[in-house]
Amino acid sequence: MASGHDFSFTSIDGKPIELKQFAGHPVLLVNVASFCGFTPQYADLQKLHERYGARGLVVLGVPSNDFGAQEPKAEPEIAQFCETRYGVSFPLTAKQKVIGPEAHALYKWIAAEAGEGAAPKWNFHKYLIGKDGSLKGAWPSRVAPMSAEIAEAIDAEL
C-alpha cells in the first residue's frame, strides 16, 4: 500500500525532494500560485513554517498553473516572488500539474486515497500528510492556513 512518503518532487531550484526524508514529520502540502486571490495565504504558510517547523512540521509549496493560469512564470521568477514578497523560506517544488491525467503522482495518490472529490479545486488547497505517510486532512482554498481546524490537525500530528 502506498504512502505519502513514496513520492518525490524536484525542488524549485532543481534539487531532489524525497518525501521519505520527512517520515516522522507531518507535511502540509499546498498547491500555490503567484497571481491568485488566495496568494496572500503565502504569509500565513510562512507563519506556520516558523511556528511549527522546529517541532517537525514541513510546509511544502507546489506551484501550479492548473487553475486560471495564475502561475504563468518560470521557477526562478516564482522563487524570487515568494522570497521578496512573502519572505517564504519553506521548500517549494518545481511547477507541477495537480489535476487531470498528467497530475503529479502524489496528487493522483491523494485522489485515490480520498476519492476524486478530494483533488484540488483551486489554488491553495491544503493537505496534511501525517508522520506515518497517511493522508490526515484536506482543506479547500478558503480555509486559511492559520485556521483553528488546520492548527488542531497539525498539533495532533506533532
In a domain, 49, yes or no: yes
In a domain, 63, yes or no: yes
The Cα–Cα gap between 49 and 10 comes to 20
CB 67 within 8 A of CB 73: no
In a domain, 151, yes or no: no
| Structural domain range at position 72 | 31-144
In a domain, 149, yes or no: no
Q: Which of 33, 36, 138, 150 is catalytic?
A: 36
What CATH number is associated with residue 88? 3.40.30.10
Q: Average per-residue pLDDT in the chain? A: 96
**Can you point out the beta strands (E) in the chain?**
8-10, 16-18, 27-32, 58-63, 126-129, 135-139
In a domain, 153, yes or no: no
Q: What is the pLDDT of residue 115?
A: 86
In a domain, 76, yes or no: yes
Residue 82 annotated as catalytic = no
| Bridge partners for 62 per DSSP | 31
| Bridge partners for 30 per DSSP | 61, 126
Q: Phi, psi at residue 137, to the nearest 5°?
A: -175, 160
How does pLDDT run across 74-96, given as a tens digit for each residue? 999 999 999 999 999 999 999 99
How does pLDDT run across 121-152, given as a tens digit for each residue? 999 999 999 999 999 999 999 999 999 999 99
| Stretch 70-74: mean pLDDT | 96
**Who contacts 139 (Cβ-Cβ below 8 Å, separation ≥6)?**
125, 126, 127, 147, 149, 150
Overall number of domains in the chain: 1
Report strand pairing: 8-10 vs 16-18: antiparallel
In a domain, 18, yes or no: no
In a domain, 50, yes or no: yes
